[in-house]
Structure 1
């Protein structure tokens, strides 16, 4: 676990990154389920979830850039 946290000043940043990755995977699963079932609303919701996760990830990268 220590190796995973190397380079992070707090676990909060790591927690956020893991949460964003989980959100992106969830969005991909929703999109795939929507495609498979022909549910365009579910597919769009999955794409939106992925977009939100991508924006959060970009925010984390900006914070990391200012940390050092």
Structure 2
């Protein structure tokens, strides 16, 4: 709802998992400690979307060079 209201793409939801908090408190990313968990999968999916959108945006902003 917030993404739609702000006019930005919704990238995903992170589930409320105790393991995510525990891992964050210990300084270990959940994608390392529990890669198969729903939380890790959510973070991975969001990161993939951000990487893809950033790549596309960067490509669109490249200058056009014309040789005559």
Relative to the length of structure 2, the TM-score reads: 0.47
Quick check: which has more Rg, 1 or 2?
Answer: 2
More helix by share: 1
Q: Report 1 or 2 for greater relative contact order, CA contacts < 8 Å, sequence distance ≥ 6.
A: 1
Q: What is the TM-score when the length of structure 1 is the normalising length?
A: 0.47
